[in-house]
A and B are shown apart, each in its own frame.
Chain A
Amino acid sequence: MSASAVHSLWTMAAPIDKIDAPTIEYTQLLPTLIVIGAAVLGILVEAFVGRKARYYVQVFLTVVALVAAFAAVIGLAAGGYASTEAKIVAMGAIAVDGPALFLQGTILLTGLVAVFTFAERRLDPAAHGNHVDSFTAQAASVPGSESEQAAVKAGFTTTEVFPLSLFAIGGMLVFPAANDLLTLFIALEVLSLPLYLLCALARRKRLMSQEAAVKYFLLGAFSSAFLLFGVALVYGYAGTVSYAGIADVVDGTVQTVDPALAGTMGNDALLLVGAAMILMGLLFKVGAVPFHMWTPDVYQGAPTPVTGFMAAATKVAAFGALLRLLYVVLPGLRWDWRPVMWGVAIATMLIGAIVAITQTDIKRLLAYSSIAHAGFILAGVIAATPDGISSVLFYLGAYSFVTIGAFAVVTLVRDAGGEATHLSKWAGLGRRSPLVAAVFAVFLLAFAGIPLTSGFAGKFAVFKAAAEGGAGMLVVVGVISSAIAAFFYIRVIVLMFFSEPKPEGPTVAVPSPLTITAIGVGVAVTLVLGVAPQYFLDLANQAGVFVR
């Protein structure tokens, strides 16, 4: 924007007589408000509640908040906001509609299950008589320093993880519901910043954890900047940041030109570059190739419960935002974005699956597998049909529970150095702990998309939508990369069941009911969605319409 344009912005702005107070529909925003409110409360708890009681108060508060927010989502959906009553609230900033409520419900449930794994305190041996969780005693102390040892000795725990995760969940709730580009950006920041912090809080391997956090933060900040720049360019093109407003300008239904933006409005170059930059920001969060580089390092370094949470909930939120952007804002640009997204989806599926083959660390392996899955979901996104929306919604719901469950199992397999994530240590696990190995095998088979698991139902739904949307080529590539991906999932199963156990192999810690619940929910959802997915497909179908 040239200097004169900026100048004219100031001079042409109409003088303001009075400011109308915005109307806020508190009822419809209840889920988000509950979560954010509880997060604020959680910070007060950190400040005022004694160290001994803090953990219990925080866990209780977090669980209650998430359950209450989920109840609010159900209430809204029952009130018809998912279908006929869908509307835009908070002065056009937030959409309350089927996809938003479906995704919010999914995020809240996965968040709840993830919080269970955050709260697990029986896996690590107690230090100095205090139960410890997966998080560092004192994040501010230098790894290996005396102050860290003192903090461990004093039994400090980082109970801040609970309000932090609530803030992240709050941001994730807004992300797929955001109905203008600025809200989208703010939601992105609200969900990202707590995650950057959470990544740095691992109790074991702290340097790796901090490295992961720095990488995630730097690249995340970079992608946020891209997104924000894109928002500015699109504003220059459309004269508005509201989704519906931009869509109207793209379609050409609105011809009025804001005099202040006369130099830029309607300039297609701005639209294309701006939209591409916004997409980049979202594809980064999704972990799509070529914006996936952070995924393996961050997944490996972050505390495993956080990894599970990120892999599941962040992906749900980001795909929700991506869906809304492509289906509400840019349907008029379909012929421009589809070829690009085709390329991204194909690259994501193939590279995720191929690179995963060479991995030797279970967390990195799951990271690359999550990249491949992002590719499969993109195939459904590209379908650009109502079926595409509902198939993506279903896939996200199915996938997030498998992911949380799988990472929860990873937290159980331990040796002296904490979690034994190197694949060679998993050899013969099936003989030592048949149940744990069998459960993990179920998750791996679901990832591989074997029939009678949720992974197959989801994969079938997105591939079907893609085929019907005319993307038969994508289906073929998807099927090929599924075959490649199957190879490394099966390799882990071979390792667990057919290899002889090593003498100094890891042990499987006996978890508390918290982790058992998390894993149990994962297995139950995996099998139910695999065998009888009809109810949830219906739900996703009914939820598959965006409000404008």
Chain B
Amino acid sequence: MSFPLLTATAAVPAIGAIVTAAVPAARRTAAKWLALFFSLVTLVLAVLIGVRFAPGGDRYQLTESHSWIADFGVRYELGVDGIGVALIGLTALLIPFVLLAGWHDADPQETGSKRWRPTQGFFALILMVEAMVILSFEATDVFLFYILFEAMLIPMYFLIGGFGDRAHAGSDEKAAAQRSYAAVKFLLYNLVGGLIMLAAVIGLYVVAGNFSLQEIAAARASGELQMATSTERWLFLGFFFAFAVKAPLWPLHTWLPNAMGEATAPVAVLITAVVDKVGTFAMLRFCLQLFPEASKWATPAILVLALISIVYGALLAVGQRDIKRLVAYASISHFGFIIMGIFAMTSQGQSGATLYMVNHGVSTAALMLVAGFLISRRGSRLIADYGGVQKVAPVLAGTFLVGSLATLSLPGLAPFVSEFLVLVGTFARYPAIGIIATFGIVLAALYSLVLYQRTMTGPVKPEVSAMPDLKVRELVVVAPLIALLIFLGVYPKPVTDLVNPAVGHTLSDVHEKDPKPEVEAAK
């Protein structure tokens, strides 16, 4: 038996979480370094997965399969395709930065008993989320995936509710109330989505008799497993609902601005750049593979919802007064692009969507983390409280600018490539929708540049006049992310090579081919 690389990649952060949580209260700094160490080991393992994965080979590679709960027909089945590898890489890459950025976010204030160890808890919870997210990208058993999909809500919930943004207008009590409101809203939205998915998961079992993605998909493809049209549609809706809450898709998005606004910046990155990707990833992997016909049936409606997400998210972002909520609405807009790319059912669209997942993760992390540094300096999330920062802290302003430009998909930075692919892929099949979606880009330019202009340019506000520039730790967080944004913007081939074969498989699952171009390109 070969080394279970996939299990190890998820097990290392899980073990790290337990070890970190067990560190005594006084050894706070040791816990932080331990957590960072485990996240780096995870990154090494994730890179190993990338190395061992052969893009042109089998659809699912590095597979593992063990009996788990035979009575439910549940197996511990893992396997990755190119999309999974890319997203595991993204997750493993971002977590060390998240940990570093949140280095001081959970230092204890005053209250609590000797056994109250918020710092250890904060780092352990982040690692726990990482373990569950990575395993969910690997799971090829529907039940196993469902368990992780639900279970990751609990550590996320404690991260949002337990470690809020300290920079807050108003009293501590009010902040605590808003924070627990955001945490509960996050949990209830996702739990309801998950429970509806549970009904669909049970329904799928009743129809198919097991939970193995590969077996069910094979039986569907060979015609061995027939589903009544209405059954397939109901099951699809059950799954899609849960993923649309997680992704989030308009009109199920309202938890995200609350959660991202109240959480600390690193946790907000964890939500939008890592955890939410599970939703869009699952649409590709589960909705399209298990329910191809129903997916096609639902495509027009989903595309319209995605379009609304794009425009509505961008419009609301323009109107935000709070930096973090602005990034949240921008993310909703971007998730609209991702979902549109997935359901455009073209190879460019889906490749673009997958690439978008990675790029959005990196660009949002860059913008949000710099925004977090900014907010922690001034102690306010309101845009109006800033002005002229670029004169006081030029490096901070510069990195913030790069993050903003990435968010508006400037050519040369990574998100441009993916957004372009999604729009081209959508236009090929649904020209009208592609055209309307382009307005999202115009609005993105508006909210990104206005954000930069209002906070960084203009006369220096007295409150920010003594603002220190980025520290070494913060530079270590930001610089690699920016380098990656530029690299993937110029040379996205490593990721697209990884993703393209997987996208081809997914498209053939839904029996779709790319539409022929109407004008032959000149030879």
- Within 8 Å of chain A (Cβ to Cβ): is B374? no
- What is the interface of chain B mostly: helix, strand, loop, or mixed? helix
Give the residues from 432 to 453 in chain A that come closer than 8 angstroms, CB to CB, to chain B.
Answer: 432-435, 445, 450-452
User: By the criterion CB–CB under 8 Å, are A498 and B113 in contact?
Assistant: no
B147's closest neighbor in chain A, by CB? A451
Q: Are A534 and B69 in contact (CB under 8 A)?
A: yes
- Asked if A499 CB lies within 8 Å of chain B CBs, one says yes
Binary flags per residue of B369-395, CB closer than 8 Å to A gives 1, else 0: 000000000000000000000000000
Query: Does B19 lie at the interface of the complex (its beta carbon under 8 Å from any beta carbon of A)?
Result: no
Interface positions of B from 281 to 297, Cβ below 8 Å from A: none
CB-nearest residue of chain B to A491: B184
Q: Which of A452, A472, A483, A537 contacts B203 (CB 8 A)?
A: A472
- B348 CB to closest chain A CB (Å) equals 36
A25 within 8 A of B: no
**Interface residue count on the B side (C-beta < 8 Å):** 41
A490 located at the interface, meaning its Cβ lies under 8 Å from any Cβ of chain B in the complex: yes
**In the assembled complex, which residues on chain A have CB atoms less than 8 Å from the CB atom of B112?**
431-432
Q: Give the contacts of A89-147 with B (CB-CB under 8 A).
A: none
A498 touches B176 (CB 8 A): yes
CB pair B113 A486 closer than 8 Å: no
Chain B positions 476 through 489: 1 when the CB is less than 8 Å from some CB of chain A, otherwise 0: 00000000000000
> How far, in whole Å, are A445 and B153 apart by their CA atoms in the complex?
11
Using CB atoms, name the residue of chain A closest to B153: A450
Interface of A (DSSP majority class) = helix
Evaluate contact between A476 and B199: CB separation under 8 angstroms: yes
Give per-residue flags for A454-486: 1 if the beta carbon is below 8 A from chain B beta carbons, else 0.
Answer: 001100110110011000100110011011001
A497-B151 contact, Cβ under 8 Å, with A434-B116, A467-B206: no
**B35-78 vs A, Cβ < 8 Å mask (1 yes, 0 no):** 00000000000000000000000000000000111111000000
Does residue A538 face the partner (Cβ distance < 8 Å to B)? Answer: yes
Does B184 lie within 8 Å of A490, measured CB to CB?
A: yes
Knowing A451-B147, A475-B199, A533-B69, the reply to whether A494 touches B180 (Cβ < 8 A) is yes
Interchain CA distance A534-B143 in the complex, whole Å: 14
* Chain B residue nearest to A451 in the complex (CB): B147
Identify the interface centre among B69, B116, B146: most chain A CB within 10 Å of its CB: B69
> Within the complex, which residue of A433, A457, A475, A500 is in contact with B176, where a contact is CB–CB below 8 Å?
A500
**In the assembly, what is the distance between CA of A450 and CA of B192, in Å?**
12
Does A342 touch B at the CB level, under 8 Å? no
Asked whether any CB of chain B lies closer than 8 Å to the CB of A541, the reply is: yes
Q: Give A450 to B150 CA distance when docked, in angstroms.
A: 7
Q: In the complex, A523→B196 CA distance in Å?
A: 27
A171-189 with Cβ < 8 A to chain B: none
Residue of A nearest to B191 (CB): A486
Interface residues of B in 173-211 (CB under 8 A from A): 173, 176, 179-180, 183-184, 187-188, 191-192, 195-196, 198-199, 202-203, 205-206
Cβ A431 vs Cβ B162 within 8 A: no
Bound form: Cα–Cα A463–B72 in Å? 11
Residues of B within 8 A of A467 (CB): 202-203, 205-206
Q: Is the CB of B179 within 8 A of A498?
A: yes
**Residues in A neighbouring B150, C-beta threshold 8 A:** 450-451, 456
Return the contact of A464 from the options B68, B113, B184, B202 (Cβ within 8 A): B202
Q: Does the CB pair B147–A452 fall under 8 Å?
A: yes
- Asked if B115 is at the interface of the complex by the 8 Å CB criterion, the answer is yes
Query: Are A498 and B183 neighbours in the complex by a CB distance under 8 Å?
Result: yes
Q: Which residues of B contact A490 (CB under 8 A)?
A: 157, 184, 187-188
Known: A494-B161, A494-B180. A431 touches B202 (CB 8 A): no
0/1 per residue, A498-513, Cβ < 8 Å to B? Answer: 1111000000000000
Q: Does A487 contact B (CB under 8 A)?
A: yes
Measured between beta carbons, the chain B residues less than 8 angstroms from A482 are: 195
The smallest C-beta distance from B137 to any residue of chain A, in angstroms, reads: 17
Pairwise interchain contact B188-A487, C-beta atoms closer than 8 A: yes
> B222 contacts the other chain (Cβ, under 8 Å)?
no
Instruction: Evaluate contact between B199 and A479: CB separation under 8 angstroms.
Output: yes
Q: Are B184 and A494 touching (Cβ within 8 A)?
A: yes
Asked whether B151 lies within 8 Å of A499 as measured between CB atoms, the reply is no
Residue-wise interface mask of B (87-124) relative to A, using a CB-CB cutoff of 8 A (1 in contact, 0 not): 00000000000000000000000011101110000000
- Across the interface, name the chain A residue whose C-beta is closest to B197: A479
**B179 lies within 8 A of A463 (CB):** no
The answer for the CA separation of A433 and B115 in the assembled complex, in Å, is 7
Using known A-B contacts A431-B111, A431-B113, A483-B191, determine if residue A498 contacts B162 with beta carbons closer than 8 Å.
yes
**Is B158 an interface residue, CB under 8 A from the partner?**
yes
Q: Are B151 and A479 in contact (CB under 8 A)?
A: no
CB distance from A112 to the nearest CB of B (A): 27
Give the distance in Å from the alpha carbon of A43 to the alpha carbon of B114 in the complex: 47
CA distance A277 to B158 in the complex (A): 48
Nearest chain B residue, comparing its CB with the CB of A459: B198
Q: Which of A445, A461, A483, A487 contacts B72 (CB 8 A)?
A: A461
- Check if B154 is an interface residue, CB within 8 A of chain A: yes
Interface residues in B129-155 (C-beta closer than 8 Å to A): 146-148, 150-151, 153-154
- Provide the residues of chain B in CB contact with A445, threshold 8 Å: 154
Interface contact B115-A435, CB-CB below 8 Å: yes
Which residues of B have CB within 8 Å of A450?
150-151, 153-154
- The CA-CA distance from A497 to B180 in the complex, in Å, is 9
Nearest CB of chain A from residue B134's CB, rounded to whole Å: 16
B398 → A minimal CB distance (Å): 37
Bound together, the chains give a CA A445 to CA B203 distance in angstroms of 24
Which residues from chain B contact A497 at a C-beta distance below 8 Å?
Answer: 158, 161-162
Contacts of A534 on B, CB cut-off 8 Å?
Answer: 67-71
User: How far, in angstroms, from A457 to B74 measured CA to CA in the complex?
Assistant: 12
User: Is A483 within 8 A of B113, CB to CB?
Assistant: no
Contact A500 B158 (CB under 8 A): no
Q: Do A479 and B113 contact each other (CB < 8 Å), given the known contacts A498-B162, A500-B176? A: no
Smallest CB gap from B193: residue in A: A483
Q: Which residues of B are found within 8 Å of A464, using beta-carbon distances?
A: 72, 202, 205-206
A483 to B70 alpha-carbon distance, docked (Å): 27
Q: Which of B146, B161, B192 contacts A483 (CB 8 A)?
A: B192
Q: A390 — nearest CB in chain B belongs to which residue?
A: B71
In whole angstroms, how far apart are the Cα atoms of A432 and B180 in the complex? 18
From B116, B180, B184, B202, name the one whose CB has the most chain A CB atoms within 10 angstroms. B202
Closest chain B CB from A470 CB (angstroms): 9
Bound-complex Cα distance A487 to B192 (A): 10
Residues on B with beta carbons closer than 8 Å to the beta carbon of A538: 70-71
Contact: A501 with B111, CB < 8 Å?
A: yes
Chain A: CB-nearest residue to B113:
A432
B69 touches A537 (CB 8 A): yes
* Cβ-defined contact, B154 with A486, below 8 A: no
**CB-defined interface of A518-548 with B at 8 Å, one 1/0 digit per residue?**
0000000000000011100110010000000
Closest Cβ of chain B to A439, distance in Å, is 13
Shortest CB distance A388–B (Å): 14
Candidates B68, B153, B173, B183; contact of A494 at CB < 8 Å: B183
| Alpha-carbon distance between A479 and B161 when the two chains are bound, in angstroms | 25
- CB <8 Å contact, B146 and A451: yes
B residues less than 8 Å from A494 (CB atoms)? 161, 180, 183-184
A selection of 17 A-B contacts at a CB cut-off of 8 Å is A431-B112, A432-B112, A433-B115, A434-B115, A450-B150, A451-B146, A460-B202, A475-B199, A490-B188, A491-B184, A498-B161, A498-B180, A534-B67, A534-B69, A534-B70, A537-B71, A541-B71
Known contacts A460-B198, A479-B199, then 10 further A-B pairs from the complex at CB < 8 Å, ordered by chain A residue: A431-B111, A451-B147, A475-B203, A480-B195, A482-B195, A490-B187, A498-B162, A498-B179, A534-B67, A537-B72
Interface of A toward B, CB cutoff 8 Å: 431-435, 445, 450-452, 456-457, 460-461, 463-464, 467-468, 472, 475-476, 479-480, 482-483, 486-487, 490-491, 494, 497-501, 532-534, 537-538, 541
Q: Which 10 A-B pairs have the closest CB atoms?
A: A451-B147, A537-B71, A498-B180, A431-B112, A479-B195, A451-B150, A479-B199, A498-B161, A451-B151, A483-B192
Interface residues of B (CB under 8 A from A): 67-72, 111-113, 115-117, 146-148, 150-151, 153-154, 157-158, 161-162, 173, 176, 179-180, 183-184, 187-188, 191-192, 195-196, 198-199, 202-203, 205-206
